[in-house]
Amino acid sequence: MTQRIVCYGELLLRLAAPGHERLLQSPALQVQVGGAEANVAVALARHGHRAVLVGRVADNALGAAATAELRRHGVDTAGVQPAPGRMGLYFLEAGAGHRPSTVLYDRADSAFARAGAQAYDWPALLEGAAWLHLSGVTPALGAAAAGAAIAAARAARAAGVRVSFDGNYRSKLWQAWDGDAAAILRELMSEAELIFADHRDIAVVLGVQAEGASAAERYAAAADAAFAAFPRLQRLASTVRLQHSVDRQSLSALLRRREGSVLETPVCELSAIVDRIGAGDAFAAGVLHGLLDGCDDAASLRYGWAAACLKHSVPGDFNLVDATEIEAFVAQEGYHVRR
């Protein structure tokens, strides 16, 4: 059964250097549409859900084109308001070998960042929604966006809409306005019953450094702190990434439930990575898809992990794979040509 899920966040233009070039090594940039919450909305729409994006875009040709791209992938954009201001941008330089990728943000004073809580009629926007999805990118843009995100989360809880939150800590954005990341993210996490975060995100929010020799041990310690701090939290999920180089990495995923049980996926060896941007959003959308479809936690986690793995093969922010491909990956059906 399809369900309505509302994603609140900024729709962005991504300007990337061609291939593995340095930025402006040649006088060209490849333009695509993206943004953390938009990535989740696109994936959920492709999985058959009624995904809605809420936000603001520039009232010009750039905003119109970005909004049209979302509609092309089946996302409901009735909640995306054109407004005076500029589009948020980010510039990507894809790394290679042992040279990491680099992101430069150009999002200050965008039409989205200017819009405070009063810009959105949350009771109307959330009507009929099963979930509201937010991420830590939005409050990092400034006081107005932070206030709007908190208002959205509170309105969702008041309306009985479940809240999911992706930590997505972006230090460069927080530093630009000297925002109190810990206090604001803590307030947002306190409204969520599903949080996507690892031990580093929890350390930022709670100031507790997770101890442990392995990723699983650090995750367990962080989860204990999160469940103690946030009474509404029911599930904490995260990918676990081991980076051998930019092009070769290993990916697994963990989910901890409030009652203490831990679920874990196999490890996937990712080689010849095409684009890892948006993999975390693909993971979040996959887990949400499983829960929306009535799957148990183990199946939802495995679906999210498979979606994240496959995202590494797709250029751009959006995870343009469908449920059949993800299910085939989960079933380990191999790499035969699909005819």
What pLDDT was estimated at residue 337? 45
Q: pLDDT tens for residues 113-148?
A: 999 999 999 999 999 999 999 999 999 999 999 999
Can you tell me the distance from the alpha carbon of 192 to that of 254, in angstroms, rounded to the nearest whole number?
Answer: 18
- Longest Cα–Cα distance of the chain, Å, equals 55
Cβ burial, residue 290 (10 Å; 0-12/13-18/19+): buried
Query: Quick check: helix, strand or coil at residue 197?
Result: coil
Give the list of residues 6+ apart from residue 248 with CB closer than 8 angstroms, or none: 269, 270, 271, 272, 273
Give the list of residues 6+ apart from residue 267 with CB closer than 8 angstroms, or none: 250, 251, 252
What pLDDT was estimated at residue 338? 52
What pLDDT was estimated at residue 217? 87
- Give the residue carrying structure tokens 């409901």: 76
What pLDDT was estimated at residue 213? 73
| Number of neighbouring beta carbons within 10 Å of residue 170 | 20
Residue 281 is among the residues annotated as catalytic for this protein: yes
* Structural domains of the chain, ranges and CATH numbers in brackets: 4-330 (3.40.1190.20)
| Number of neighbouring beta carbons within 10 Å of residue 250 | 14
Segment holding 90, helix H or strand E: strand 88-93
Cβ burial, residue 119 (10 Å; 0-12/13-18/19+): middle
Cβ burial, residue 272 (10 Å; 0-12/13-18/19+): exposed
CA distances from 249 to 22, 92, 116, 268, 300 (A): 22, 19, 39, 8, 22
Can you tell me the distance from the alpha carbon of 37 to that of 10, in angstroms, rounded to the nearest whole number?
Answer: 7
Question: pTM (2 decimals)?
Answer: 0.96
Which residue type does 108 have? A
Can you tell me the distance from the alpha carbon of 110 to that of 141, in angstroms, rounded to the nearest whole number?
Answer: 9
With a cut of 70, list the residues of the chain below it in pLDDT: 1, 333-339
Q: What b/e readout covers 66-87, taking b as 16+ CB neighbours within 10 angstroms? A: bbebbeebbbbbebbbebebbb
What pLDDT was estimated at residue 251? 97
What pLDDT was estimated at residue 335? 56
What pLDDT was estimated at residue 333? 63
Can you tell me the distance from the alpha carbon of 306 to that of 65, in angstroms, rounded to the nearest whole number?
Answer: 30
What pLDDT was estimated at residue 62? 98
Give the active site residue among 281, 297, 317, 322. 281
What pLDDT was estimated at residue 239? 97
